[in-house]
């Protein structure tokens, strides 16, 4: 894996910050005088699509705690990102404590010191994809308004995303009546409304129909080509290799930073 740390280059130019940089201490440091704490570092480039893969819910917990560990001076993920009904806060806190303090930077911004700036930069689909029980179009408009968008802008963006995600036929259908694939598309729409530069998505492609997968991949492909970076969790290595630039494996709350190129 290349070292993409921001900083000076041999030619004197300064590299732009990574879209996402995650650091956490490991237990690999040798004991003895002068031993230094080791760090595991995950750096994700701008305009990348990366899958966090695990056989259980470890990858979901990893995403949930990226922007909040439940501490008194570090808001939970729902407060930082504006996600509706974010889950896993207390469980993620325990995992974070066990693995050590995690340091996160989003485009060079620390969520602990500037949570509002990070909130503007990030769009989230939390574990379980919690959505209000209302018609799809109303859910999208409400999510945009929650982000502070004016009513007219909220309605326009909701309509645009309804078309982009091929939800026009169900825009007046209550969320409870959607198929898993349609619900995943609606949840992604809510995350995209404020045009974030980083998407953190909990299993958007798991257990969806082939039509929804194709639509989701098309939208995410356009997003990474033009706007920002995607990190999503999945339990399927096949999905990860099929649609991503890179994948990482998450086990027991620890990310293996030896990211693998996807085989397409």
Asked if 81 and 257 count as a contact pair (C-beta separation under 8 A), the reply is no
**Model confidence pLDDT, tens digit, residues 213-240:** 999 999 999 999 999 999 999 999 889 8
Identify the pLDDT of residue 169: 97
The larger pLDDT score, comparing residue 9 to residue 154, is at: 154
Asked if 65 and 93 count as a contact pair (C-beta separation under 8 A), the reply is yes
Which are the contacts of 99, defined by CB distance < 8 A and separation ≥ 6?
A: 24, 252, 253, 254
Identify the pLDDT of residue 28: 53
| Distance between CA atoms of residues 260 and 247, nearest Å | 6
Share the mean pLDDT of the chain: 80
Which are the contacts of 168, defined by CB distance < 8 A and separation ≥ 6?
A: 162
Identify the pLDDT of residue 196: 97
Identify the pLDDT of residue 260: 54
Identify the pLDDT of residue 147: 93
Nearest Cα neighbor of 86 from 68, 100, 113, 104 is 68
HSE at residue 140, side-chain half, CA atoms within 13 A, is: 32
Asked if 77 and 86 count as a contact pair (C-beta separation under 8 A), the reply is yes
């Amino acid at each position: 894996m290349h070292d993409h740390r921001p900083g000076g280059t041999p030619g004197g130019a300064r590299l732009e910050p990574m879209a996402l940089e995650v650091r956490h201490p490991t237990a690999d440091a040798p004991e003895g005088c002068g031993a230094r704490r080791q760090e595991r570092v995950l750096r994700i480039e701008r305009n990348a699509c990366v899958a966090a893969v695990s056989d259980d819910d470890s990858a979901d917990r990893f995403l949930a705690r990226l922007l909040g560990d439940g501490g008194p001076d570090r808001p939970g993920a729902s407060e930082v990102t504006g996600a509706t009904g974010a889950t896993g806060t207390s469980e993620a806190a325990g995992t974070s404590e066990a693995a050590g303090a995690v340091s996160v930077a989003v485009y060079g911004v620390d969520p602990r010191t500037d949570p509002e700036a990070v909130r503007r930069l990030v769009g989230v689909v939390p574990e379980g994809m919690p959505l209000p029980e209302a018609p799809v179009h109303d859910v999208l408009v409400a999510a945009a308004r929650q982000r502070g968008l004016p009513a007219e802008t909220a309605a326009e963006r909701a309509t645009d995303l309804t078309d982009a995600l091929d939800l026009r036929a169900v825009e007046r259908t209550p969320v409870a009546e959607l198929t898993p694939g349609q619900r995943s598309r609606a949840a992604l729409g809510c995350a995209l409304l404020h045009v974030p530069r980083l998407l953190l998505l909990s299993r958007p492609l798991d257990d969806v129909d082939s039509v929804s997968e194709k639509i989701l991949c098309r939208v995410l492909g356009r997003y990474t080509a033009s706007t920002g970076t995607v990190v999503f969790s999945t339990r399927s290595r096949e999905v990860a290799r099929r649609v991503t630039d890179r994948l990482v494996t998450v086990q027991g709350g620890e990310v293996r930073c030896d990211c693998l190129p996807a085989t397409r």
